[in-house]
Chains A and B, each alone.
Chain A
Amino acid sequence: MLETTVENDGCGCAGSAKKCLPPLPMFQPEPDNAPCCGAPPGPPSSPDERPGYRLCSFVERFVETQGGMVPQVKTCLGPGDWLGSLRARLGISRDRYRIAPGLYSVGAAGVDSPVLVTANYKLSFDALRRELAGVDAWILVLDTRGVNVWCAAGKKTFGTDELIRQVQRTRLEGIVRHRQLILPQLGAPGVAGHQVRRNCGFSVIWGPIRARDLKNFLAADQEAGPSMRQLTFSVLERLVLIPVEISLIVKPSLWVLLAIFALSAIGPQFSMMLAWQRGLTLALAYGVGVVSGAVAAPLLLPWLPWRSFYLKGLLTGLIGGLAAVVGLRVVGWDAVAMVLLSMAVSSYAAMNFTGATPYASPSGVEKEMRRGIPIQIAALVATVFLWVGGRFWI
């Protein structure tokens, strides 16, 4: 009997343990307020809806606590969450991808459940909740202006004052019996643990770097092993950063392309056709430089020689530029100009990737910039000189 119900119910929960509604009868008395035309009305509003607020799709229900109603969130991501992650990774409206700060719950969170602290960047929040299936916990979301934990800690928005503020605002001391907050270790540049305890009575426990280690951390009496405290920067971890790097280059690139076509029009006699062709050729060299510096250099990072990123970028730009001139069969000064442009652009793009890595020190970046930028400018000036001058010499 149960099987028949599951097959015929059409309520979309076949195979699940949920109890399904019986199929609707063929003939139903029409309600008095039935519309005279158009499709039948949709489902009624959720009892959780409030005027002026919008329900978030990641909220399962609201639970009553000593500190008021707290949203209980789902631990699996829906299509909308995945789409949002994709958009953020591509750099589309990334700075507006945020959720409301405050207290959330997972599972059957109670007075003894741990409190996990995170940022209000939706990508960070999703990374946390998707690792909490089967866990009963509270999530305290700080207002980091939609920035991830690590970057926000550097800017102190994931900081001591904000943490204390949210603990007090959410009346956490009435919701949980214990006095502990579990913070991601990468939040430590912004939060002084000893000051949090002094000012709001809650002590800070430094949790693992990655959310996926949280279950093991909680199971091991909140003790993080060495591997949980060890940063990694794998190929995949580098790969997901590349689209944002590219998206940051797109806007200035429009100006660069304009300049490239303008430079390509300069010559002893003006020809629209020639200007267009030369413009495309140099634009390709520029594109190769971007790919060499913002894609190839990050991916090949540990295998490229030298520690300075500008040198790594010069190398990938050289190889990319040479491949471009060989492929397009460009010779002479034009070829030299193209390779130099590719190297300059690649070197700069690779140098900018330092900010996305978890190991480049600002003092080191400044040091390599003092060496790299003069070289990049020199290569750029030489490119312009050879690309324009070459037409007058030959």
Chain B
Amino acid sequence: MKDFRYLAGVSTLVLHPEVCVGCGSCALVCPHQVFAVTGKKAAIIDLDGCMECGACALNCPVDAISVTPGVGCASYIIQTWIKGKDADIQCC
């Protein structure tokens, strides 16, 4: 996956280290190796590798991670622009 890098500095991923209990779930479920757990805390080691799938935030038992997950597909985003974020949108 190292051949594929997407736009830098756009990810909405935020980790709150003071809440983190170091369970390592985020590092386990992340498909892009964005996290590393050292000692008793997780850290973001590759923010620009994040594709905002939301797996880490959902699997964090203490809600130490926030991210705006979504579908990274142009026709989907155009429909959200037209119909609004909460509309029922048919996509891939």
Contact = CB atoms under 8 A, between A and B. Distances in A.
Does A pair with B?
A: yes
Interface of A: 151, 153-154, 185-186, 188-194, 206, 209, 229-233, 301-302, 307-308, 348, 351-352, 354-369
B74 A359 contact: no
A355 B91 contact: yes
Given A151-B92, A185-B29, A355 B59 contact: no
**Interface SS of B by simple majority:** loop
A358 B25 contact: no
B72 interface: yes
Contacts of B53: 153-154, 188-189
B73 A365 contact: yes
A239 B58 CA distance: 32
Contacts of A194: 25, 59, 61
Contacts of A357: 4, 72
A188 B6 contact: no
B25 A209 contact: no
Nearest to B7: A364
Contacts of B55: 153, 188-189
Given A362-B52, A363-B11, A369 B77 contact: yes
Contacts of A230: 1, 33
Given A355-B92, A358-B51, A359-B6, A364 B72 contact: yes
A365 B78 CA distance: 11
A188 B34 CA distance: 15
Interface string B28-60: 110111000000000000000111111100110
B74 A352 contact: yes
A153 B4 CA distance: 22
Contacts of A189: 53-55, 58, 69
A135 B10 CA distance: 43
Given A230-B33, A360-B72, 11 more contacts: A302-B3, A354-B72, A354-B74, A355-B72, A358-B51, A361-B10, A361-B50, A361-B51, A362-B68, A363-B70, A367-B10
B82 to A, nearest CB: 12
Ranked 10 nearest A-B pairs via Cβ: A355-B73, A362-B70, A188-B55, A188-B29, A364-B7, A302-B3, A360-B72, A363-B10, A189-B53, A361-B52
Contact of B6 (A154, A307, A351): A307
A191 B61 CA distance: 12
A232 B1 CA distance: 5
Interface in B10-26: 10-12, 25
Given A361-B50, A363-B11, A206 B6 contact: no
B54 to A, nearest CB: 5
A151 B76 CA distance: 13
Contact of B58 (A192, A354, A367, A368): A192
